[in-house]
Amino acid sequence: MKKLLNDPGRVVVESLAGLAAAHPDLLEVDLGQRVVRRRGGTRPGKVGVVSGGGSGHEPLHAGYVGVGMLDAACCGEVFTSPVPDQFVAAHHAADGGAGVVHVLKNYTGDLLNAEMAHDILRAQDVDALEVVVTDDDVAVLDSTFTAGRRGVGATVLVEKLVGAAAEEGRDLAACAALGREVNARSRSMGVALTSCTVPSAGVATFALADDEIELGIGIHGEPGRRRAPLQPAHDVAAALLAPVVEDLALRRGEAVVVLLNGMGGTPLIELYLMFHEVRSILHETRGVTVARSLVGNYITSLEMAGCSVTLLRADDEIVRLWDAPVATPGLRWGA
């Protein structure tokens, strides 16, 4: 294992200390609980937006805390759910008196721990709590850590759009409904060129031959649909797009938001090249317009090489909320 770290058991807390030091204008970190909260807390009367999950997907989730996205996030060990107390602490950190939306990716461990946290919160007479679960990955129905589809790239889009809706004053039910709608309008699929290595394990999660890729990879290295020979970027883009477009039942003339996401180890020069392929296929073959796009490392798998494509069926309201100001370490514009 070749990584820039000290003690594999302290990667998450030492990284969060760096995040806190790098962004004192945006956020504060409770290193004991490993909970990140918006600097100054949630504005009274604003719906809080919270997320949490295993670490190793940076900037997700802690890097999306700030203005116009998350109010708090809790961070588990690498690829491991936070414990219930962390979700409880994140809830309280984000509670501005108007209720809190919890955005969760559909993984069994995350959901179990979050549900225990919600029981604790209800016992504390906290009722204004809504849950949005993302499950946008079309690659496989069930997976190593999942009943049903996995939650991947749509999580970034849900966090951005619900964050914008909360910032402009929508109430708890409306924020949660928007989050569920954004998830329902989104589909993703990813590809791995290499594995990644969890620091506490010290060895690669899986192995791929030098001329082999894994189509439909999960963000923890879970198996996808199939292994295939290394192929031109155009063919990889087509292989990722086909099931996404079909599952979404996209029709000619529709518009989408595209997230072309890097898995962590693939350089930007390749990600922009892949975006060019994705956009060309959408335009020329599918008759689908790209209304907005995001190209870069947004939901990663440590140093895995590869990428994923997420499409969100757009409308004017989604584009308006997308364009709303956001100021977080991982996503920032207009503020």
Q: Which of 143, 300, 308, 310: binder of a second copy (CB under 8 A)?
A: 300
Q: Answer yes or no whether residue 236 interacts with a second copy by CB under 8 A.
A: yes
Q: Answer yes or no whether residue 332 interacts with a second copy by CB under 8 A.
A: yes
Q: Which of 180, 227, 234, 286: binder of a second copy (CB under 8 A)?
A: 234
Q: Which of 14, 142, 168, 246: binder of a second copy (CB under 8 A)?
A: 14
233 contacts 273 by C-beta, under 8 angstroms? yes
Distance between CA atoms of residues 328 and 335, nearest Å? 10
Measured CA distances, 227 to 54, 139, 170 (Å): 26, 12, 44
Distance between CA atoms of residues 199 and 5, nearest Å? 9
Measured from the Cβ of residue 20, the count of other Cβ atoms closer than 10 Å reads 17
Tokens for 18, please give them: 């760096």
Q: Which of 89, 140, 244, 302: binder of a second copy (CB under 8 A)?
A: 302
Size of the site for a second copy (CB under 8 A): 64
Query: What is the three-class DSSP state of 153?
Result: coil
Q: Answer yes or no whether residue 112 interacts with a second copy by CB under 8 A.
A: no
Tokens for 313, please give them: 């069926």
65 contacts 58 by C-beta, under 8 angstroms? no
Q: Is 23 a catalytic residue?
A: no
Q: Which is nearer to a second copy, 55 or 310 (CB)?
A: 55
Measured from the Cβ of residue 206, the count of other Cβ atoms closer than 10 Å reads 14
Q: Is 91 a catalytic residue?
A: no
Task: Please identify every residue annotated as catalytic.
Answer: 57, 220
Residue ranges that bind a second copy, judged by CB under 8 A? 2-7, 11-12, 14-19, 21-22, 55-56, 58-59, 63, 78, 193-194, 210-211, 213, 230, 232-234, 236, 260, 264-277, 279, 290, 293-295, 297, 300, 302-303, 305-307, 327, 332-335
